[in-house]
Structure 1
Amino acid sequence: MALFSSSPTRRSLLIGAAPAAFALTCGLSPRARADNAPLIVVTSFPEELTTRYEREFERRHPEAHVQFVWKHSRDALALLSGPDQGGVDVYWAPSPNFPLLRDQGALRPIVVDRAVLPGRVGNQSLSDSSGMYEAYDLAGYGFALNPSLLRERGLPEPKSWGDLASPIFADQIVVPIPSKVGFAPALYDVILQAEGWERGWAIVSELIANARLVAHGRGPAAAVEEGEAPIGLTIDFLALSARANGAPIAFAYPARTAFLPSNIAVTSSTRKFDTAKAFVDFVLSCDGQKILLEADSVRHPARPDAYRPTGSEARINPFDLRRENIFDYDFDLGRHRPGIVRALFDIAFATRHAEVTTLWRSIHDAEARLGNATGKDAERIAEARRLAGSVPVSTRQADRAEYLAQFAGRDAPDAEIMERWNAELAASRATAIALLHAAFPG
């Protein structure tokens, strides 16, 4: 029997389950509707996974029936923020909506056993401290690697984000454009939080000069898999999935990385709390979490005991990583930053990639010529380096939700802000070039 199966009616359920459920029960009293209606679960997980959970949950609870409604994050937020929350009982997704819904009072507390569901990995907290939602699975960020290509080109395996800024990795890296790739804003924000806003952008700027930019989520892992580049910045499951299917690819988590969870929660308006709680309990149980280890899934359970034993060379257990390698990523700050990361990356790097590459290679050449010398030329080159890695947004601004709110939508950022950023970037880079010429004329 296949581990993941599908029903011929599944697609219609995913698109319109909640309205259909209401139509079928509209003549009943509220109590009768609650007793007879299916459990409505809003999710963005793939059908193969949700079908597996539906079958196993209903086998354990034959009196219950689950219907899934598939929604992107924005549509899910609108539904769950609306009247009666659209009749939804459970929300289960990899989405930034959970803290917003918590703050709206749209979720009910759930109780978990912290002895088996620690709600953290390494030094990083995962679950809501107020108990309104719980981590279901984890996805981490780091390096897709082609080991044979690294050996062939005489390159070391990078151990940190900053390693990729070294000139030895020129033309050896593929990175995603955050305005084009869904996971990429979080990937870059992990670097920015791990290293600090200013140093983080300096690292990103310098490694961008070593990289090829791609506009497709599979791009970095695919380039590494196909031997086009030895290193790609990506989310782990894309590389691990390729590896599980026999690709000559590895994945490494750098020092000071983070894992972002998918979450599950019960809505505040559910009329089926006992069934909703039973579904959440199953999803978070050891048996429920082990479903993540089946077939082609390379997702990471949020429950450590689900990994024993794995029996898969492709499986990485985040709970076995060195604690100090995983820092305490600030989810609340991170959920406000995707817009500004997209906007800054586009104006500073995506539209100026050749310029950035030339500038950093000039800096590397100047530093090589300078060697260990000190004095005015060393000061000029150091200032050129600082300017090349700077962005026109301060740490204070980047930490303020009010400032970040300007970039929250998918609409183009304010033209006046873009014009000011453009001018500041142009001035900084022109000054950097002038300093390099002053240090080494001609």
Structure 2
Amino acid sequence: MRKLIAAVVAAVVLAGVVLAAVKLRAPPEEEEKPPAEGIVLKVITRHSTTIWHVSKEMFLKSELAKKYNVVDIRFMGPNPTLWLSTIRKLGDIDIAWGGGPTLFDILNREGLLEPITDPETLKVIDELPKEVGGAPMVRYDEQGRPVWAAAAISSFGFIVNYNILEKYGLPEPKLWEDLGSIEFAKVLPKPVVAYARPTTSTSHTRIYQIILQKFGWEKGWALLARIAANGRPYGGSVEALTAVESGEVAVSIAIDFYGYSSEIEFPGTKYVLPFNESIVNGDPIALLKTSKHKEAAQAFIRFILSTEGQKIWLDKRINRMPVRKDVFDTPEGKARPDLLKNYMATVENIGIPFDDERALRTEEALRYYFDAVYADLHDLLVEVWSKLVKAYKEGKLTEEEFEKLAYEMGAPLKWVQNGVEYEFTEEYAASINEKLRDPAFASEMMKIWRDAAREKYMKLLEKIPG
């Protein structure tokens, strides 16, 4: 019996030794092996839901998605004013995509962008043009690491509905000045131009910034007042687009891809890029510091920036300008000669010198000032402009008198606050820009500006001959 027990014990010990040896000799797991549970990437974006669906379908079918075990992508599209709070509150968003360089520069300044470090993704970024039309396609940090890269390019102009132009007997607009012309005031109070409140649209905000830098701060605001009076504010860029497509207005300011889609879906509409009066933007994609899946997130970024991923923009439901010209050499690209033609027109257009940093310094001030002075008091602004145009057409004002009063209507406001006189100069706007991120301060300033604008408009109504 003792011999039997001893034999059993010996066998158990031997088995343990063998098992231990096997474990010791087992090869280590590969470091890049994806987690057993699938990864769900989270993306904050300004892109349309069509882009969500197309990009998700294409990426999840790719070898990159399989390699990094990405099983789903969840998109969210909050208003750009809520991006900072949304990213910080949720704390696990992986990628920011779309919304323009200014928005991404704000994210970078706030410390929310993570530099790209994945070697394969860096190789793809190196293949991108460094600039298009003078606009940067990659933004680097102080260490020379990319913090965002353009996934697409965009220009800014306006969409014209030629059927409505003909109906109203209006001339074809070619430049920003045409949108603020006397001719476009002939059907007031019916609006001719659709535009969005800058607090709801990053692309329309960019257009206002372009006008301010093209014409100068004072003359730019004067032109914006005339454009605003010739049209009406809408809740967002999509609503403004719908207005021109439906024939509610003859023109809508717009980012280019809205125009290209309109040309396909609504015959009689055309996108116009004002010659030597606009810019090209790189529309970024970036890795967020809050990402819990940085390798997988960079794989998605790599895919979007690759030739294969750039095919997303060729989809006729999307119609956007890829950042990579070589995508037009693919079979899918060769099937879109129309988009290639628009691409070449965009990159060959002579743009204006545009300073991103300068625009960023006054962006919040621009948004709230425009809303308070031109959107909130829109009816009163239209009344002033209508009376002014009528007086000029009836010969009650000389051209010089008309231009002087028109400039006064839109010139940056002056007001007195606590016994101190202020003026909405570019320097003043920059000095309060960061403070306007405080909702209470923004509300206070908007009330001050509304009151000052109302007083100015009422004085102009008295001054203009009836």
Shift of 1:302: 1.6
CA contact (8 A) 2:152 2:284 kept: yes
Q: Output the TM-score relative to the length of structure 2.
A: 0.72
**Equivalent residue, structure 1, for 2:114:** 107
Residues 1:120 and 2:121 are matched in the alignment: no
CA distance in 2, matches of 1:212, 1:74: 22
Q: Between 186-195 and 89-98, report the one with greater CA deviation.
A: 89-98
**Number of residue equivalences:** 399
Q: Aligned letter for 2:43?
A: V
Helix, strand or coil: the match of 1:99? Answer: helix
Helix, strand or coil: the match of 1:176? Answer: strand
CA contact (8 A) 1:142 1:233 kept: yes
Q: Aligned letter for 1:133?
A: W
Task: Quickly say closer, same or farther: Cα 1:423–1:286, change in 2 above 3 A.
Answer: same
Residues 1:63 and 2:67 are matched in the alignment: yes
Picking from 326, 332, 336, the partner of 2:351 is 326
1:365-414 C-alpha deviation (Å, 9 max, x unpaired): 4545669x9xxx7765443232111122112223x2x4112323566724
**Equivalent residue, structure 2, for 1:149:** 164
Residues 86-97 of structure 1: pairs in structure 2 closer than 5 A: 86=92, 89-94=94-99, 97=103
Shift of 1:173: 1.8
Picking from 292, 316, 320, the partner of 2:313 is 292
Task: Quickly say closer, same or farther: Cα 1:286–1:41, change in 2 above 3 A.
Answer: same
Q: Aligned letter for 1:99?
A: D
CA contact (8 A) 1:102 1:132 kept: yes
Residues 1:311 and 2:316 are matched in the alignment: no
Identical counterparts, % of pairs: 21
Q: Aligned letter for 2:69?
A: H
Helix, strand or coil: the match of 1:342? Answer: helix
CA distance in 1, matches of 2:65, 2:178: 51
Q: Which has the larger Rg?
A: 2
**Equivalent residue, structure 2, for 1:140:** 155
Residues 1:428 and 2:439 are matched in the alignment: no
CA contact (8 A) 2:241 2:254 kept: yes
Task: Quickly say closer, same or farther: Cα 1:343–1:146, change in 2 above 3 A.
Answer: same
Picking from 360, 365, 378, the partner of 2:385 is 360
Shift of 1:423: 4.3
Q: Between 91-100 and 254-263, report the one with greater CA deviation.
A: 91-100
Q: CA RMSD in A?
A: 3.7
Task: Quickly say closer, same or farther: Cα 1:391–1:75, change in 2 above 3 A.
Answer: closer
Helix, strand or coil: the match of 1:128? Answer: strand
**Equivalent residue, structure 2, for 1:11:** none
CA contact (8 A) 2:125 2:305 kept: no
Shift of 1:206: 1.0
1:39-63 C-alpha deviation (Å, 9 max, x unpaired): 7342334331332232243x35632
Could you list the structure 1 runs, at least 4 aligned residues long, displaced by more than 6 angstroms after superposition. 31-34, 269-272
CA distance in 1, matches of 2:69, 2:408: 60
Task: Quickly say closer, same or farther: Cα 1:436–1:101, change in 2 above 3 A.
Answer: closer
CA contact (8 A) 2:133 2:350 kept: yes
Helix, strand or coil: the match of 2:66? Answer: coil
Task: Quickly say closer, same or farther: Cα 1:82–1:201, change in 2 above 3 A.
Answer: same
Helix, strand or coil: the match of 1:62? Answer: helix
CA contact (8 A) 1:140 1:236 kept: yes
Task: Quickly say closer, same or farther: Cα 1:143–1:409, change in 2 above 3 A.
Answer: farther
CA contact (8 A) 1:213 1:350 kept: yes
CA distance in 2, matches of 1:341, 1:60: 42
1:270-316 C-alpha deviation (Å, 9 max, x unpaired): 68665544432221111111122124112221222224445347636
Q: Between 201-210 and 187-196, report the one with greater CA deviation.
A: 187-196
Shift of 1:94: 2.8
Q: Aligned letter for 1:186?
A: R
Q: Output the TM-score relative to the length of structure 1.
A: 0.75
CA distance in 2, matches of 1:312, 1:282: 21
Q: Between 353-362 and 31-40, report the one with greater CA deviation.
A: 31-40
**Equivalent residue, structure 2, for 1:348:** 373
**Equivalent residue, structure 2, for 1:185:** 205
Unaligned runs of at least 5 residues, structure 1: 1-28
